[in-house]
């Protein structure tokens, strides 16, 4: 069916109705609707249902659209945006094999060469541009795992970028390169006071609590997090000693004290971890973010989707690094679903007729839940976003289901997860505010910002002494 909807201006008032779309609320209590309306007032969703009587509310025509909650990315290193596609073939660490995948590696280049030369203005433009790009792709909430806190000025630049992006963000206050004058983690008190004095704002704070930073820093970061009532996030990768370190700390042994798992803790990757670790994580109610494409490409290990199913846990999804992989939510959902099904399907085939003792196959609704509801819960934002629910804030995406790549739609979650990409993301709303309208991001001079990002890129390569290899 051709799209006959006449584009109109976005509503200007604080009360509008998204009329006549196919609604996937991702809230089992609210249900889904072949055709329904979503009424927004101010920041919030105030009604969902078929043929709502909305009086004089302005109308967004959603016929031919699939209406979903904004997507949530629970781990994205936004400061690396100028290094996009620099490491498409890279491993996390140089394995000494002498192959193009070993060198350049992520660790040696991004963390050892580039990170130390970042100035506050680089942090700002990289984080802003990456955030706008992901907002354009329908990701209305992110955890920015910001590992660039060489100074309080770097920190302020990172937070200002999240504020200026105008989407819901958890600012992950992680370490920098540890130079003299760096204030991590103790500057968290100032940051919390100056930027996060109110809980009712679009940008919130998460404390980075990396366990690989020796004994003193994790002890302090976890202590500060609990003192300030901040959620904690940390990377956990089993290789390179990470598994035994984690087990030791969780047992309360080892040099770093205060590492106590709880429902306020988000662990990233969890590849290659022991059964002891998994049981401790599950029993504590800690959350797990999987960056499935990056974990597969960069040798973090097999994404532990089956282990989580076995324990009755579900992940949220994350993009990690655009040095190596796109940050769009469709790639994240499809990757999680396809790798889980590959593992299970092969296990079933290998059992050749025996009653298969395999976990259920993931379906499109499952990964859609990972990318919305679970993400919001894992960032302690489930009361505000993650599903289309009366009383929650209006973080909403309208997906064009009249487009060439999805017509005709016979199954809405299937169309979203299996067929769509960022070109279907037509209108994006954050806390009731229209940020993308009919395919155009609003309130952002992308030409100017793109130019500033390229200037930052030129500086970073020059200062790091790295030559670009445009043709790979």
What number of CA atoms fall less than 13 Å from residue 24's CA on the CB side? 26
The residue (of 37 and 320) whose beta carbon lies closer to Zn ion is 320
The residue (of 378 and 435) whose beta carbon lies closer to Zn ion is 378
Least distance from C-beta 75 to Zn ion, angstroms? Answer: 6
Question: Which residues of 319-418 form beta strands (DSSP E)?
Answer: 396-400
Least distance from C-beta 371 to Zn ion, angstroms? Answer: 17
Partners of 326 in beta bridges? none
Least distance from C-beta 295 to Zn ion, angstroms? Answer: 10
The residue (of 21 and 231) whose beta carbon lies closer to Zn ion is 231
Q: How far is CA 270 from the centre of its chain?
A: 16
How far apart CA 40 and CA 88 sit, in angstroms, is 41
Q: In Å, what is the CA distance from 9 to each residue of 132, 440, 453? A: 21, 11, 30
Give the helix/strand (H/E) hosting 189. Answer: helix 188-195
Q: What is the 3-state composition of the chain as percent helix, strand, coil, each rounded to the nearest 5? A: 35, 20, 45
Instruction: List interacting residues with Zn ion (CB under 5 A).
Output: 320
The residue (of 320 and 366) whose beta carbon lies closer to Zn ion is 320
> Which of 399, 418, 463 minimizes the C-alpha distance to 3?
399
The residue (of 300 and 433) whose beta carbon lies closer to Zn ion is 300
Least distance from C-beta 339 to Zn ion, angstroms? Answer: 18
Q: Are strands 15-24 and 58-61 parallel, antiparallel or unpaired?
A: parallel
- Residue whose CB is nearest to Zn ion in the complex, by number: 320
Least distance from C-beta 463 to Zn ion, angstroms? Answer: 23
The residue (of 35 and 85) whose beta carbon lies closer to Zn ion is 85
The residue (of 234 and 444) whose beta carbon lies closer to Zn ion is 234
**Which 3 state secondary structure label does DSSP give 93?**
coil
The residue (of 16 and 174) whose beta carbon lies closer to Zn ion is 174
How far apart CA 258 and CA 274 sit, in angstroms, is 21
The residue (of 314 and 320) whose beta carbon lies closer to Zn ion is 320
Least distance from C-beta 406 to Zn ion, angstroms? Answer: 32
How far apart CA 47 and CA 376 sit, in angstroms, is 20
How far apart CA 179 and CA 167 sit, in angstroms, is 31
How far apart CA 165 and CA 452 sit, in angstroms, is 15
Least distance from C-beta 172 to Zn ion, angstroms? Answer: 10
The burial of 438, by beta-carbon neighbours within 10 Å (0-12 exposed, 13-18 middle, 19 or more buried), is given as middle
The residue (of 73 and 320) whose beta carbon lies closer to Zn ion is 320
Least distance from C-beta 364 to Zn ion, angstroms? Answer: 26
Least distance from C-beta 235 to Zn ion, angstroms? Answer: 5
Least distance from C-beta 218 to Zn ion, angstroms? Answer: 16
Least distance from C-beta 322 to Zn ion, angstroms? Answer: 11
* 8 Å CB contact between 339 and 303: yes
151-175 residues labelled b (16+ CB within 10 A) or e (exposed): bbebbbbbbbbbeebbbbbbbbbbb
The residue (of 320 and 328) whose beta carbon lies closer to Zn ion is 320
> Which of 217, 164, 228, 219 minimizes the C-alpha distance to 191?
228
How far apart CA 405 and CA 402 sit, in angstroms, is 8
**Which 3 state secondary structure label does DSSP give 330?**
helix
């Amino acid at each position: 069916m051709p799209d006959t909807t006449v584009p109109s201006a976005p509503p200007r008032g604080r009360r509008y109705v998204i009329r006549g779309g196919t609604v996937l609320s991702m809230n089992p209590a609210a249900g889904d609707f072949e055709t329904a309306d979503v009424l927004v007032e101010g920041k919030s969703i105030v009604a969902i249902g078929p043929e709502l009587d909305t009086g004089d509310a302005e109308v967004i025509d959603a016929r031919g659209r699939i209406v979903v909650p904004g997507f949530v990315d629970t781990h994205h290193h936004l400061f690396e945006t100028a290094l996009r596609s620099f490491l498409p073939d890279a491993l996390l660490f140089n394995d000494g094999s002498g192959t193009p995948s070993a060198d350049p590696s992520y660790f040696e280049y991004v963390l050892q060469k580039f990170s130390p030369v970042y100035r506050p203005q680089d942090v700002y433009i990289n984080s802003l541009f990456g955030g706008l790009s992901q907002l354009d792709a329908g990701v209305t909430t992110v955890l920015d795992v910001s590992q660039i806190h060489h100074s309080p000025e770097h920190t302020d630049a990172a937070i200002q970028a999240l504020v200026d992006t105008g989407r819901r963000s958890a600012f992950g206050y992680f370490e920098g390169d540890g130079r003299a004058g760096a204030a991590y983690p103790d500057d968290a008190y100032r940051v919390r006071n100056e930027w996060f004095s109110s809980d009712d704002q679009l940008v919130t704070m998460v404390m980075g609590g990396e366990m690989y930073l020796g004994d003193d820093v994790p002890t302090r970061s976890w202590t500060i997090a609990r003192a300030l009532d901040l959620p904690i996030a940390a990377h956990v990768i089993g290789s390179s000693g990470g598994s035994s370190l984690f087990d030791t700390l969780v047992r309360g042994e080892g040099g770093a004290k205060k590492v106590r798992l709880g429902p306020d803790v988000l662990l990233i990757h969890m590849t290659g971890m022991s059964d002891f670790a998994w049981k401790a994580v599950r029993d504590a109610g800690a959350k797990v973010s999987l960056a499935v494409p990056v974990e597969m490409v960069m040798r973090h290990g097999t994404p532990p989707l089956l282990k989580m199913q076995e324990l009755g846990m579900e992940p949220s999804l994350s993009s990690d690094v655009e040095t190596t992989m796109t940050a769009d939510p469709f790639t994240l959902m499809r990757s999680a679903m396809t790798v889980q099904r590959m593992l299970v399907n092969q296990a079933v085939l290998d059992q050749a007729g025996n009653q298969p003792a395999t976990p259920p196959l993931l379906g499109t609704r499952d990964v859609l839940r990972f990318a919305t509801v679970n993400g919001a819960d894992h960032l302690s934002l489930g009361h505000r976003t993650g599903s289309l629910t009366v009383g929650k804030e209006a973080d909403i995406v309208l997906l064009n289901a009249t487009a060439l790549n999805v017509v005709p739609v016979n199954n809405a979650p299937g169309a979203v997860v299996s067929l769509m990409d960022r070109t279907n993301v037509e209108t994006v709303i954050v806390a009731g505010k229209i940020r993308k309208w009919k395919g155009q991001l609003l309130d952002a001079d992308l030409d100017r910002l793109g130019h500033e990002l390229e200037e930052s890129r030129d500086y970073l390569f020059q200062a790091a002494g790295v030559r670009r290899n445009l043709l790979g």
